[in-house]
Amino acid sequence: MGQKKDLTGSEKSKIVRYLAEGCSSLKIAKLLKRDHRTIKCFIQNSQQGRKKRVEKPRRKITAHELRKVKRAAAKMPLATSLAIFQSCNITGVPKSTRCAILRDMAKVRKAERRPPLNKTHKLKRQDWAKKYLKTDFSKVLWTDEMRVSLDGPDGWARGWIGKGQRAPVRLRRRQGGGGVLVCAGIIKDELVGPFRVEDGVKLNSQSYCQFLEDTFFKQWYRKKSASFKKNMIFMQDNAPSHASKYSTVWLARKGIKEEKLMTWPPCSPDLNPIENLWSIIKCEIYKEGKQYTSLNSVWEAVVAAARNVDGEQIKTLTESMDGRLLSVLAKKGGYIGR
């Protein structure tokens, strides 16, 4: 004979109600069409009540052990409380106590996404800041690429839900759904682009230069006056396809060479104002946990969000460069807040 199903929540509620009305266990079994022994067992267990939990004496932490924990936390960033205490050979401490102790000497933080800066990086960032300290940044075209996915960055699908409301269902994809690579530039108060890299195209030196030719140069640069072209400075980061000899020679043939091609320090996304533009666009297209069903739909959302960015916002970003350079020098080449 197969095992009988457990009582459901509604059945348990009915049993309590029938007992309050003075019904016997046998009558309740007939009303619910359940075995009499099942009903009697539930009533007996309910009358016994819950057993009181016996509090175990907590292990006391000495001052010497606290110092060991503090040193271990400093040596083991992002480690769990259990790993930190085990490294100090401290056992028998519950998780709540471990976390309470660590809160007095540490904080739970996420890993830094920015690459670490060594001494050479910091020196090059300082040299770059000194070189361009007197530059008119309204003449600099700041360029960069951004990849957008169908679902947005991890952790963005959170927000306040009203009482009594259910959280919306979020799609889950087995293969991620891919993404769109977007390129753009900003200069003074003007947004150049955005431009979409063709799906499946990997940007090496040749494809990168061809992409610049088809977008920045044909659609924007050729329409500018001779005086504008003479004074414009082109900025790009040190991605392999950007900094290669092929790309450098190709840009030189376009007249972008020497002082017209800005040198860029390593590991410096915080110095590029267009990174802030990407943040504005991503906040807009992924607000309220927005998801997309196709690459074309997310691209259309990027274009719409870019159109909503006005010239004053872009001007604020490009005019922030003087302050960024001073911050780099003040921090001796260290990262600045964006």
- pLDDT tens for 219-271 read 999 999 999 999 999 999 999 999 999 999 999 999 999 999 999 999 999 99
Average pLDDT, the chain: 87
Domain identity same for 202 and 323: yes
129 within a domain of the structure (yes/no): yes
- What strand order describes the sheet that includes 179-187? 190-196, 179-187, 140-149, 233-235
Q: What is the predicted pLDDT for the residue at 148?
A: 92
Domain identity same for 191 and 233: yes
Domain identity same for 261 and 182: yes
Question: Rounded to an integer, what distance in angstroms lies between the CA atom of residue 296 and that of residue 293?
Answer: 9
163 within a domain of the structure (yes/no): no
Contacts of 305 (CB under 8 A, 6+ apart): 280, 281, 284, 285
Residue 49 has pLDDT above 60, yes or no: no
Question: Rounded to an integer, what distance in angstroms lies between the CA atom of residue 184 and that of residue 207?
Answer: 16
Domain identity same for 42 and 186: no
323 within a domain of the structure (yes/no): yes
Domain identity same for 204 and 276: yes
Question: pLDDT (tens digit, 9 = 90+) per residue, 87-113?
Answer: 999 988 888 888 888 888 888 776 667
Print the SS3 string covering 164-182: CCCCCCCCCCCCCCCEEEE
Question: pLDDT (tens digit, 9 = 90+) per residue, 68-79?
Answer: 998 988 888 778
Domain identity same for 95 and 222: no
Q: What is the predicted pLDDT for the residue at 175?
A: 57
Structural domain total, the chain: 3
Q: What is the predicted pLDDT for the residue at 245?
A: 95
**φ/ψ of residue 302, rounded to 5:** -65, -45
| CB contact at 8 A, 325 and 133 | yes
Domain identity same for 287 and 264: yes
Reading the block at residue 286, the tokens are 């992924």
22-31, 39-48, 154-163, range with the lowest pLDDT: 154-163
Residue 326 has pLDDT above 70, yes or no: yes
Domain identity same for 203 and 85: no
36-45, 122-131, 267-276, range with the lowest pLDDT: 36-45
Question: Rounded to an integer, what distance in angstroms lies between the CA atom of residue 282 and that of residue 278?
Answer: 6
C-alpha to C-alpha distances, 306 to 9, 215, 239, 279, 282, nearest whole angstrom: 53, 16, 24, 11, 10
1 vs 337, higher pLDDT: 337
113 within a domain of the structure (yes/no): no
Short-list 257, 242, 236, 226, CA closest to 184 = 236
Q: What is the CATH number of the domain that holds 209?
A: 3.30.420.10
Question: Rounded to an integer, what distance in angstroms lies between the CA atom of residue 257 and that of residue 323?
Answer: 26
1 within a domain of the structure (yes/no): no
Reading the block at residue 103, the tokens are 């809160």
Reading the block at residue 164, the tokens are 């009594």
Domain identity same for 133 and 41: no
C-alpha to C-alpha distances, 81 to 66, 78, 102, 108, 330, nearest whole angstrom: 13, 9, 8, 10, 36
Domain identity same for 230 and 130: yes
Burial 112-146 (b: 16+ CB within 10 A, else e): eeeeebeeebbebbbebbeebeeeebeebbbbbbb
Question: pLDDT (tens digit, 9 = 90+) per residue, 141-199?
Answer: 999 999 998 887 654 556 665 666 676 666 666 555 678 999 999 999 999 999 999 98
Residue 321 has pLDDT above 70, yes or no: yes
Structural domain of 29: 9-46
Domain identity same for 88 and 200: no
Question: pLDDT (tens digit, 9 = 90+) per residue, 50-64?
Answer: 555 665 666 778 889
Residue 1 has pLDDT above 50, yes or no: no
Residue 17 has pLDDT above 50, yes or no: yes
313 vs 200, higher pLDDT: 313
Short-list 38, 14, 16, 17, CA closest to 26 = 38
Domain identity same for 320 and 292: yes
Secondary structure class of 159 (helix, strand, coil): coil
Residue 288 has pLDDT above 90, yes or no: no
269 within a domain of the structure (yes/no): yes
59 within a domain of the structure (yes/no): no
Positions of E strands within 137-268 = 140-149, 179-187, 190-196, 233-235
